[in-house]
Amino acid sequence: MLGTQTSWQKPAGNNYVTITTAHSTTDETDSNSQSPLLDIRDLKVHFPVTEGFIIQRQVGVIKAVDGVNLSVNPGETLGLVGESGSGKTTIGRAILKLENATEGQILLNGEDITKSTGNRLRDVRRQLGMVFQDPFGSLNPRMSAGNLVGEPLKIHGLTTTKSEYKRRVAELLKIVGLNSMMAGRYPHEFSGGQRQRIGVARALAAKPDVMVLDEPVSALDVSIQAQVINLIKDLQTEFGLAYIFIAHDLSVVRNISDRVAVMYLGKIVEIGSRDDIYNHPKHAYTRALLSAVPTANPDLERSRERIVLEGDIPSPLNPPSGCVFRPRCPKPTEDCRDGKIEMGLIEINPGHFVDKCCVNCG
Ligand SMILES: Nc1ncnc2c1ncn2[C@@H]1O[C@H](COP(=O)(O)OP(=O)(O)O)[C@@H](O)[C@H]1O
Ligand code: SF4
Ligand SMILES: [Mg+2]
């Protein structure tokens, strides 16, 4: 059974420090020499938009993910943040092959899984787990908790006898803090937090190396969020899992992540260690997101500069030219307005990358 020594609270504050030094001009997004467990290279996921009833013709394309580079090391948590519609879920779904990559590679232990099919795809999927935002919608209401948790064991042939299967299901329920006596109950008989625990147990069943956690606590009450976050952290310690933790709540991401990637309109605009992103943010968008995070310290809270983002994220069907953030940027320069800005990530400190455009934004 897992320990409960880890506790989680909303963080106390964020201090912004401006840095201006650019050390290198590489386009890689991970300066770590360790070979990554998961390595996403120039990933594009585009959805064609069609028109017509009998004869369909393509009239546009939604660039949900448009040239993303990310890597995750064993046992690491990469936080992925950005407003709704920025493409976070699509990246997660592409990793699980629930969406097809239009271009690019997703290397898992060095193997490009975008090409995997048949039995190989099944083996690849065993190494990956996903927890979804809506614990109710993502669990089949007609399956009992035991069957939901046990289904991956059957799909991947991971138990040989009925008694072994039952023992493993009971073990998984226990790992996530549920009583094995609950195995016969159905999703509607559980609370929201308990349902998400079933989702975590199901994702964990096939002993994955990497788990994509897509807004796993967003639909839960704040009091329950802390329990589920602590469970997720404990599981990582116990099983050495690597996580991609997707969220729009930056205080939750700060608590759990080793590194953080900031996404806007299908692109990563800044990525770095938790300290880089929360204490030395460079991109105008990262600064705006962080300025909206309330602090528990009343003095800091009073002096907190709030950068209001006007309007909504633009449609990926018709993204702005040049810098995608330009229409909402609080301080665009003349060059930004003229579209003379060169885009692409640049390393400004070891492991801290920001869009070339915004190296001197702050
Ligand atoms: N299957 C799909 N078909 C068409 N557009 C999609 C599809 N899935 C996502 N999108 C669009 O891609 C963009 C990114 O969506 P999503 O990945 O869900 O963002 P996020 O998780 O950051 O909120 C949105 O504009 C969304 O409407
Ligand atoms: S490039 Fe210009 S418009 Fe884009 S985020 Fe930086 S300052 Fe703002
Ligand atoms: Mg989403």
Q: Residue ranges of the chain with pLDDT lower than 70?
A: 1-34, 300, 360-362
Q: How many structural domains is the chain composed of?
A: 1
- Lookup: tokens for 142: 């007609």
User: Residue 311 has what pLDDT?
Assistant: 83
User: Residue 110 has what pLDDT?
Assistant: 94
The CA R_g of the chain, rounded to the nearest whole Å, is 21
Is there a domain that residue 4 lies in? Answer: no
Is there a domain that residue 62 lies in? Answer: yes
Q: What is the four-CA torsion angle of 208, 91, 291, 319, rounded to 10 degrees? A: 180
Is there a domain that residue 42 lies in? Answer: yes
DSSP state of 223: H
Adjacency order of strands within the sheet including 210-214: 128-131, 210-214, 242-247, 77-81, 259-264, 267-273, 352-355, 345-349
Is there a domain that residue 317 lies in? Answer: yes
User: Residue 191 has what pLDDT?
Assistant: 93
User: 64 CB less than 6 Å from ligand 1?
Assistant: yes
Is there a domain that residue 77 lies in? Answer: yes
CA distance 355 to 8: 32
User: Residue 200 has what pLDDT?
Assistant: 95
DSSP state of 175: H
Is there a domain that residue 161 lies in? Answer: no
Is there a domain that residue 242 lies in? Answer: no
Is there a domain that residue 175 lies in? Answer: no
**Residues spanned by the domain of 308:** 9-49+58-119+247-362
Of 45, 62, 93, 215, the residue with max ligand 1 atoms within 8 A of its CB, to mutate for a pocket test, comes to 62
pTM of the model: 0.87
The CATH number assigned to the domain holding 81 equals: 3.40.50.300
User: Residue 33 has what pLDDT?
Assistant: 54
Tell how far the Cα of 90 is from the centroid of ligand 1, in angstroms: 6
User: 133 CB less than 6 Å from ligand 1?
Assistant: no
CA distance 45 to 353: 22
- Lookup: tokens for 10: 């909303």
